[in-house]
Amino acid sequence: MELKQVHKYLDLYFEGQATIEQEAILMDYFTQPVIDVKLAQFKPYFEAITGERKETYNGQLPVKPSSKNNWRRAVAIAAVAVFGFFITQINDTQVIQPTTEELVFEEFKAHMYFVSQKLNKGHEGLAHMETFNQTANKFIKTD
């Protein structure tokens, strides 16, 4: 390698104008065991760079998560839960302030329920009468 050329490439390098090929030539030059004394000051830096390039990732490599669906499901469940929570929140706030129409309707509903209960009671009583009639028919022949 021409020393003149190395100097030229080095100048380009520090100006940020060197091409990748020229930078590669510089790397090769500076990683030689013996270099020109005038350039010795730059050697540690280029050596550090080549050392750094060799560093590899040794950590865990996440692969395609088999739990991908689980993950999505979890998100879906969380979304539904949050949604549900908000819905109940909304309902709660509505119950706190019922309109007069709603109040009247609730009152009416309560009355109707009361009437329905009473009617059911009467119906049950009639059911007894029906059984009585059937049993009585067994003994009393009208023919």
Partner 1 sequence: MDEKTLLKRILTVQDSMFRLAKRLLTSTEEAEDAVQEVITKLWVNISEMATITNIEGYTMTMTKNYCLDRLKSKQASQLRLAHYHHDKANTSLDKQIDARDAVSKLMVFMEDLSKQQQLVLQLRDIEQYDFKTIAQITKLSEGAVRVALSRARKKIKAQLIKAHNHGIETGS
121 binds partner 1 per the rule CB under 8 A: no
Residue 8's CB: how many other CB atoms inside 10 A?
A: 13
Which residue, among 34, 28, 32, has the nearest Cα to 53 in the 3D structure? 28
37 binds partner 1 per the rule CB under 8 A: no
Phi, psi angles (nearest 5°) of residue 98: -80, 150
Pick the binder of partner 1 from 33, 34, 63, 138 (CB under 8 A).
Answer: 63
Measured in whole angstroms, the distance separating CA 116 from the mean position of its chain's CA atoms is 50
Pick the binder of partner 1 from 4, 53, 123, 141 (CB under 8 A).
Answer: 53
Residue span binding partner 1 (CB under 8 A) among the ranges 19-27, 78-86, 91-99, 129-137: 19-27
57 binds partner 1 per the rule CB under 8 A: yes
Q: Is 10 within 8 Å of 26 (Cβ atoms)? A: yes
- Which positions lie near partner 1, rule CB under 8 A? 13-17, 20, 23-24, 40-42, 44-45, 47-49, 51-53, 55-65, 68, 71
